[in-house]
Structure 1
Amino acid sequence: MAAFALQPFRALRLTDSHVGDPTAARVISRPYRSVPGRLMEWRRRRHLQVDPEPAVYLHEYTSAGVTVRGLVGLVDVVRSGPSIFAHEAIHEPQVKQLTDRMAAMSLNPAPILLMHAGSAAVRDLLDTAVAQPADLVYTDRSDQVQRIWRITHPQLIAQLNVHLATTQSVIADGHHRFEAARRLAARRPGTEWDSTLVMLVDQADTPLQLSAIHRTLPRLNIEAVADAVSEDQAFARRSTSHEALAHLDHALVLHDGTSWATLKPNRPHELLVRWLHEELIPRWHVDESKIAYHHSAGEAIARTGNGLTVLLPAPRFPQVAASATSGHLLPAKATSFQPKPNLGVLMRELGSG
């Protein structure tokens, strides 16, 4: 397997006052073929700027009291690609759309978020870096605090890459963009498309918070689930939401607007979201294209209507990493990682170096 390595690049950055501003997304909105011209105009108006020299960036951001720190740089999609693992399935139409969109924009508008269990050697290097004053510090329009250090010394970058060489990272956010980057690299070999922008986060240091994404399954209720229970399942009706939710760490919590129940496999099963999609949903004859997804239990419960809301326990990073490296992908929308850095803090414009 080829060594993982981060390459320096010249960051394209929104000015501090535009990061976190929803209107800033207009610069990379439709029509995508007009994005390069819009970037030029925004740079003329000094809403955007390109850093003068290439760097690997240490980006630390704080959102709602949670601080995440990661290294931002380019990875060679062909050479480092085999050490980057997807953990959930992708949709082909979305990949095709993103491939065309990225080619038209000539832009990596945000780093693909990668997570790994970092080494003490890398953490020591980063601790030394953050002991120095940051090159940029500001609070953006959404109250996310940004701190950025530029790592430009070739010897320090080489030292980092020596320690990162055996990294096996898992994609937290950007599965479709990474697959689109692979296809652009294959379509245009020997060009800047050979690499793409990533942010590598150490889950043993300042981890992304891992949450479940809950489901509402149409035209299903708890009575139907009870009728379909098999010997390998443990089903229990619950009197109240409080009683049901007390079991959420190790069971599916079911609610149909009237009743509550829990359901779990009798045999050990590491990831219940996989069990739900591979065994239960086919047994219940649910059309997966009709499933609604919710990023919080409160939102899922509030939207329970003509269907069954299924609340899932949050998976743990070792579970997700083990699944990814085994090649046994989770269903789409299996996990949610927060907080993500705001758009425009660090971007990469192809053609800028």
Structure 2
Amino acid sequence: MDLATVVPPYVAKPLELLPFRAVMLSPSRVGDPASARALARPYRDVAARLLQWIDRGDARSDTSPALYLHEYTSGGLTVRGLVGALRVSERADTLADRAVWPHEAIHPEQAGELADRMRQMDLNPAPILLVHHGGQELREVVDRIAGAEPDWRYLDRAGQRQRLWAVRDEQVVATIGELISRSQCLLADGHHRYAAYLRLQEEHPGTPWDAGLAMLVDQDDTPLFLGAIHRTLPRVGLDVLVQAARDAGAEVTARSRQRALDALDSTHLVLTDGETWYAVAPLGLDREAAVSWLHDHVLPRLPVPPPRLEHHHTVDEALGATSPAAPAVLLPSPDFDQVRALVESGGLLPEKATSFQPKPSLGVIMRPVHDG
């Protein structure tokens, strides 16, 4: 079982989002799976390919650098955040100095592949997602921007409603910069891309690779939904998994399907092979995330480790992959403040421990690294 174990470095304060000149796919292309070919191999041709798309109207390049306020609505949830080029050129020496807090480990080889891909494309194709508790003054600035007519507004091919404002006024940009400078942000999505940003910066210091595309969301304003990522364990018997949970000190109770699913909350996990169901109540989940308990206390007690873990973002998806040859572990949704407290005390969650949703459609906003 190949587990991620490397923690990417921490970017130092002050948190900085720098203006850049965005490239955007046209509304008819955003959310269209076929548009991924614009960002496909050979990656060295992506920059030229995007210029061709701009020439024929399938993409556009903004007129001048800006910070962007991006608001998107998906499945009844609206998220908005500030999008800019995150400065990654300084590393933190102490906990208090950290501006960006990863909460999962990464695979260095995967980060390296992403770095190579972005270098060849000369492009950050999508923002990483950062979340923080923004202050009232920042929310008032964001509200004023959002109160004006958006520069772009459309419904994309995936059903997301997009609104974007380009923020070019130097005084407003400076005010935003001052208000976010002291922020500490949780890295919600994009751990491997974040690690790729840092690798590219180390390889090309003093260049535009000193920054990488990021979206900063205020979790007190338009919060991302924090969901669980469930697991199936190929070639692990349910009885063996149940015994490992009991050996880890949990109370494991056989239930009907419905009663087991009803028990899935902050204090319980569910184990099933699709036919037999168990509710699992570990000790100490008030101090430890359920996914950490699974990885730290249960999986090491299996007599033979599973060859791999399969990850699923919904219960239905996990149950669709469940069988006697691949039992499921259904996990409760983590709590945002619990995750933040864990990482700010120096802790870490296992890989694919959280699912921050919804994510913006690909192609809404991209950053050419060497603009022009």
Q: Residues 65 and 33 from structure 1, CA distance in 2 versus in 1: closer, same or farther, beyond 3 angstroms?
A: same
Give the alignment of 1:194-213 within 5 angstroms: 194-213=210-229
| Whole-angstrom distance in 2 between the partners of 1:80 and 1:208 | 27
- SS of 1:67's equivalent in the other structure is strand
- Unpaired stretches in structure 1, ≥5 consecutive residues: none
Q: Please list the CA deviations of residues 242-290 of structure 1 after superposition, one character each: whole Å capped at 9, or x if unmatched.
A: 1111211121101012211122222344301001001100101453551
> Quick one: percent identity of the two aligned structures?
46
Q: Residues 231 and 163 from structure 1, CA distance in 2 versus in 1: closer, same or farther, beyond 3 angstroms?
A: closer
- SS of 1:197's equivalent in the other structure is strand
The residue number in structure 1 matching 2:279 is 262
Corresponding position: 1:104 with 2:123: no
Residue identity opposite 1:300 in structure 2:
A
Please give the TM-score of this superposition, normalised by the length of structure 2: 0.91
1:217/1:286 contact within 8 Å kept: no
| Whole-angstrom distance in 2 between the partners of 1:93 and 1:187 | 16
Residue identity opposite 2:75 in structure 1:
A
| Whole-angstrom distance in 2 between the partners of 1:325 and 1:108 | 28
Corresponding position: 1:53 with 2:53: no
Residue identity opposite 2:132 in structure 1:
H
| Whole-angstrom distance in 1 between the partners of 2:352 and 2:307 | 12
Q: Residues 145 and 267 from structure 1, CA distance in 2 versus in 1: closer, same or farther, beyond 3 angstroms?
A: closer
Q: Residues 156 and 205 from structure 1, CA distance in 2 versus in 1: closer, same or farther, beyond 3 angstroms?
A: same
Residue identity opposite 2:26 in structure 1:
T
The residue number in structure 2 matching 1:135 is 151
Give the alignment of 1:1-353 within 5 angstroms: 1-79=12-90, 82-228=98-244, 229-230=246-247, 232-238=249-255, 240-249=256-265, 250-268=267-285, 269-287=287-305, 289-305=307-323, 306-352=325-371
2:77/2:358 contact within 8 Å kept: yes
1:236/1:262 contact within 8 Å kept: yes
- Unpaired stretches in structure 2, ≥5 consecutive residues: 1-11, 93-97
1:213/1:336 contact within 8 Å kept: yes
Q: Residues 297 and 232 from structure 1, CA distance in 2 versus in 1: closer, same or farther, beyond 3 angstroms?
A: same
- Count of aligned pairs: 352
- Residue 10 of structure 1, CA deviation: 0.6
1:222/1:260 contact within 8 Å kept: no
Residue identity opposite 1:253 in structure 2:
V
Q: Residues 57 and 80 from structure 1, CA distance in 2 versus in 1: closer, same or farther, beyond 3 angstroms?
A: farther
Residue identity opposite 2:273 in structure 1:
D
| Whole-angstrom distance in 2 between the partners of 1:97 and 1:288 | 26
Residue identity opposite 1:132 in structure 2:
A
Moved more, 293-302 or 75-84: 75-84
Residue identity opposite 2:213 in structure 1:
L
| Whole-angstrom distance in 1 between the partners of 2:271 and 2:31 | 36
